[in-house]
Chain A
């Protein structure tokens, strides 16, 4: 059995952090998700999800250096942990299994 369940939005946030690599922090993640999915997401949702993922051990965080913009306030940068990578991969594997098991006609029946 899997120990942790990864919600859909959590998966997207995790993917966004992975995509942004070293540049993942609250704003960049929010904007990246907006860009990729085309839907508007609340910063607050992203922020709490990032924190929750860190608690679960899928992400690690570190404060960056002081910046000139944003009133000199530091950014908290997030990185994918090994557990986070594993969780993402597991989700992908399960999806793939389903895609492979899909009967060819199924997609047409759904209205294509």
Chain B
């Protein structure tokens, strides 16, 4: 019966508690004593009271946190893991292991350090790219209006928008807190302080609400009123320090274009991670009085600050719906009456997204590329994976060497948990060392990194929490990842087996063999992938550099026209042409490689060729040039004729088209067709010739339709040198410039400006090349480490084979077979991903190479040869071993 049971057995729960938590050394007698007392209590106090008393006594006996063990039972109990003597001992053993396996430990440490350095650098770069325009408070309330115009010519998104939009949008929508236009001055601004002449790049004209939309902190002056004065000017801290030193310049008078302007404020410099940059800010109204009515959509950047970030999306929907009202396309009754031929969608681009995602026409500066950021992140991950694999592989290999140590420790009484903890802490300590070293390395390599990426990183970025926190997280993850598997394997060794045979259990052997091979294969997959990518990208970059872009960009010096030169341009050109090193020169509205304007023309023959009310009006790229443009840049006229001095009417009525235009507009027999220019002062005339397509923009896009005509709308002088450009000819050109103008002289080479178009690709290409070398080196190091470790276990086999007559050569084959298979498998696995990724990358070029088998063959050969070389030394050493020496030991 249940009750009878209760007389002999105390409460179960209390008994369980006692067993679980009572001090182990005293459990037996305590249980005995309590049982005895229980029976005594039943007799004296009754069952119920006895049970209560028993439970109560047990509860009060439990002292889980202060276990005191009796000396008698102490001898089989290990001491606490964090006992200082134990820590010291662990340290000693770790150091001794390090010293014993110096080369492997160094491979491991340097690999980890390099890998970390590289990936942390990449992390810095990516963080910088992602942090664009996020430095001002409330940056997420700011958007840029980007109209997308859909017309007969297709769709075009602009970074600029019409001048009247800002006042209209501000008055229509109450959620708009402030809005401003920015008119950028691409030329140098010249001004005088006292009698000294200065010129500065980077001036903008803005609305008085500019500093409400972009609340840059002010060093001097009042942000709220700085732009209220029509003759005021605000300058950046850097300009202020350069011109005035460390004093407050507010109130200083400077002379600009013969008028006096007063400095009203100094703002803190625009940080590097901005999509725009400017140093001088002037009020727009005094510069362009009727700006509020302006329908010019190519001049202004419009930025709007809304009251809360949540209003951005609703506002963008409103703009899409109301565009015809904003533009005034309403009939007398106020009913929408949008034009048929085109429509304008007013898009809103968040400020912080401009740098990486906006691909609009006429961007403020050169934007970054989201693709490059993704490539960087991907590559950083690959490098980290390789490094971790190396670490796991080598630690795993070293672990086998430590099996005897583990066995002895276990025999002495180390528990599995404590061994695990010991090894994982060792791994953490090791990676901490690698982290410290990589921080040192980053400090040393910072200048190199800055030149590579074109950014300005300071050593201090390494020490702020935004770097340290991720580094800490990475450390935690890395220590765990790299220490976990070896720790599990090591702590699982069966001491009996290890001490008997000198090696761990066969079961863990198979698992670790598979894991090791798998990881090696994976490493070589990554290396092969990177080699293919590096070669293909290099191939494409070579192709871009050497492809026939239709003009000869070598030996051309571009001199921007500024100041008073415009009036004296004929004299300047004549003087230049007289110079010994100069072959020819030409004026143009824009240098090739820079943005060419998009203007309206009309080709009467095309009238009616499109649906709707088509009068033959088209938009196309237009360059204003002079008579020597074709000859100077060595363009080819494939039909008709070039502009000619002998034909004075060419200035008024001659137009040249490129092949792309002829094709786009379907003009058969274009020569002599009437043509009209519809911008500014319209011109009418005829098409006199067709030039072969030349890439006036980057090769990311196909050559667009282009028209050339003669118009003195010049911003640059292009000078072809007849010898290789020497510094002497540049000096001569400068002298001529100085003899004619007082403006500062400036120049660049045309081929250099073309190269700048591919900066993102160049960076990618360089990065991939460096990282390929690194990844391959890591993979080979890892292979070397693993091979040299495991080949020791085959020396007996080699000895026996030799006794039976195996030659050194056949042994070489036998020993390296396993690892060569690993490399080959890695290459095979890399085939598809490499093909896919490289093709993806090539898609963004309109002119591109076809992906051939060559990079794959190269990747295969390079990795096989390098892998073989890296293991050759150990393998030869083993194969040449004297069998008598090894077999003697048995």
Contact = CB atoms under 8 A, between A and B. Distances in A.
B37 A30 contact: yes
Contacts, number: 60
Interface in B1-51: 26, 28-37, 40
A22 to B, nearest CB: 16
Given A31-B40, A70-B35, A75 B26 contact: no
A30 B41 CA distance: 12
B34 A43 contact: yes
B60 interface: yes
Q: Mostly helix, strand, loop or mixed at chain A's interface? A: helix
Contacts of A86: none
A8 interface: no
A27 B40 CA distance: 10
A49 interface: no
Nearest to B30: A47
Contacts of A42: 57, 60
Contacts of B57: 42-44
Contact of B36 (A44, A70, A76): A70
Given A51-B68, A51-B70, A54-B70, A25 B35 contact: no
B70 A75 contact: no
Contact of B26 (A27, A45, A70, A76): A76
Contacts of A26: 29-30, 33
A67 B34 CA distance: 14
A43 B37 contact: yes
Contact of B28 (A27, A43, A73): A73
A30 B34 CA distance: 11
B846 interface: no
B70 A43 contact: no
B444 interface: no
B5 to A, nearest CB: 14
Interface in B403-437: none
B31 A47 contact: no
A63 B33 contact: no
A27 to B, nearest CB: 5
A76 B31 CA distance: 11
Interface in B133-187: none
A28 B718 CA distance: 114
B566 to A, nearest CB: 102
A51 B26 contact: yes
A43 B68 contact: no
A69 to B, nearest CB: 7
A73 B26 contact: no
Given A31-B40, A76-B26, A44 B32 contact: no
A70 B32 contact: yes
A55 interface: yes
Contacts of A74: 28-29, 32
Interface string B41-71: 0000000000000000100110100001010
B57 to A, nearest CB: 5
Interface string A53-91: 011000001010001011101111000000000000000
* A42, A43, A61: most-surrounded residue (chain B CB, <10 A): A43
Contacts of A25: 29, 33
A51 B40 CA distance: 23
Contact of B29 (A48, A54, A69, A73): A73
A63 B29 contact: yes
A45 B56 CA distance: 12
A36 to B, nearest CB: 17
A35 to B, nearest CB: 12
B68 A47 contact: no
Contacts of B70: 51, 54, 61
Nearest to B38: A70
A73 B32 CA distance: 5
Contacts of A76: 26, 29
Contacts of B40: 27, 31
Contacts of B32: 67, 70-71, 73-75
Nearest to A77: B29
Contact of B31 (A30, A31, A73): A73
Interface in B487-534: none
A64 to B, nearest CB: 9
A55 B68 contact: yes
A48 to B, nearest CB: 8
Contacts of B34: 43
Contacts of A73: 28-29, 31-32, 35
A98 B470 CA distance: 71
Contacts of A61: 70, 72
* B26, B33, B34, B35: most-surrounded residue (chain A CB, <10 A): B33
B29 A75 contact: yes
Nearest to B28: A73
Interface string B243-260: 000000000000000000
Nearest to A71: B35
Contacts of B37: 27, 30, 43
Contacts of A48: 61, 63
A67 B26 CA distance: 17
A76 B29 CA distance: 6
* A54, A75, A76: most-surrounded residue (chain B CB, <10 A): A76
A45 B40 CA distance: 18
A44 B31 contact: no
Contacts of B72: 61
Contacts of B63: 48
Contacts of B60: 42, 44-45
Nearest to B62: A44
B51 to A, nearest CB: 14
Nearest to B34: A43
A70 B28 CA distance: 10
A63 B26 CA distance: 10
Contacts of B68: 51, 55
27 contacts: A25-B29, A25-B33, A26-B33, A27-B33, A27-B36, A27-B40, A31-B40, A42-B60, A43-B33, A43-B57, A44-B61, A47-B33, A48-B61, A48-B63, A54-B70, A55-B68, A61-B70, A70-B32, A71-B31, A73-B28, A73-B29, A73-B32, A74-B32, A75-B29, A75-B33, A76-B26, A76-B29
Given A54-B70, A75-B33, A76-B29, 12 more contacts: A26-B30, A30-B37, A31-B40, A43-B37, A47-B33, A48-B61, A48-B63, A61-B72, A63-B28, A71-B31, A74-B28, A75-B29
9 closest Cβ pairs, A-B complex:
A73-B32, A26-B33, A76-B29, A44-B60, A70-B32, A44-B61, A70-B35, A27-B36, A70-B36
